[in-house]
Amino acid sequence: MKNLAYNKRPKSFQDFIGQSHLFGENAPFMRLILSRKIPHSFFFGPPGSGKTSAAMLIAKAMDYPFYPLNATNFKAEDLRGILKTHHHTLQKPLVFIDEVHRLSKTQQEMLLPVMENNQALLLGASTENPYFALTQAIRSRSMVFEFYPLSKEDLEKILESYALKAEVKDFLIQTSGGDARAMLNLLDCALSTDLPLNIELLESFRKTSLSGTSELDTHYNLISAMIKSIRGSDENAAIYYLARLIAGGENPEFIARRLVILASEDIGNANPNALNLANSTMQSVAKIGYPEARILLAQ
């Protein structure tokens, strides 16, 4: 049985929520899709931001057969089979490779003739910037586009079709971290219990679903999200991601070191005292540790 997140996938770009810089009516990338001149492209951004849904809609808009692959189990024969199927046809396939940053250099080299000869339209997706994982030869033949976490307004639109209490809706949005899939999966779990839908029920799932920060992707995604929130002057989001890091058992000294770097790299001479404050925090955190260190880091 398909879950709620799958069933809520948009059927057209008119239904697509978020990423207006790419898929808005007058966005340059959208113009390329409509003109059927889209280049080989790689999408990177946080989970649940619409990368796979966008690839499926591009295939639909351009009338290309859609072939989803995953870099974690990518096999040369799979790609060859797709190309062979369309070898003597006028219809070009769209090959979508998820987790593209996991492709080895050998696997990437297999894609070069496909891209060079336009045997297929190649799209890839990653939660990490593929620019650093892809070879120069791949980058030379493609474009990289960033997806952003969905905003509160975006997530509210996704929940419009559900009759939810205001506090339930707020909890779903505030704890999703801009991840539409995570938000809908939480709602799906709660609805499947046939119990009254309230915050207590949602919390019982959300607490057990927090993954901590031991996984490399989660570790860097959370610290990156915190830094970007500070850079964007969104203190509430910064505190949220800090809380996620702390709840996941992240080393407080690591967080403090990242704040020192941010104070110099992102704030710099706009507020020279930021570096002094961050450095003092780092020294204090090293001496105090958890649980009190959370107060210093939040300040």
CA distance 178 to 101: 22
pLDDT above 90 (res 291): no
216-298 belongs to CATH 2.60.40.10: no
Amino acid at 222: L
Q: What are 212-224's pLDDT values in tens digits? A: 444 445 567 788 8
Residue 175 has what pLDDT?
Answer: 82
Amino acid at 150: L
Specify burial of residue 215 (Cβ count, 10 A radius: 0-12, 13-18, 19+): exposed
Residue 100 has what pLDDT?
Answer: 92
CATH number belonging to domain 152-209: 1.10.8
pLDDT over 90 for what percent of the chain? 47
CA distance 266 to 259: 10
* Displacement of CA 66 from its chain's centroid (Å): 21
- Per-residue confidence band for 243, with pLDDT thresholds at 50, 70 and 90: confident
Locate the domains of the chain by residue range. 19-146, 152-209, 216-298
Q: What are 90-120's pLDDT values in tens digits? A: 889 999 999 998 898 999 999 999 999 999 9
Residue 155 has what pLDDT?
Answer: 92
Mean pLDDT over 30-46 rounds to: 92
19-146 belongs to CATH 3.40.50.720: no
Residue 222 has what pLDDT?
Answer: 82
Residue with tokens 């219990």: 193
Q: What are 149-196's pLDDT values in tens digits? A: 888 899 999 999 899 999 999 999 888 878 899 899 999 999 999 899
CB atoms within 10 A of CB 148: 17
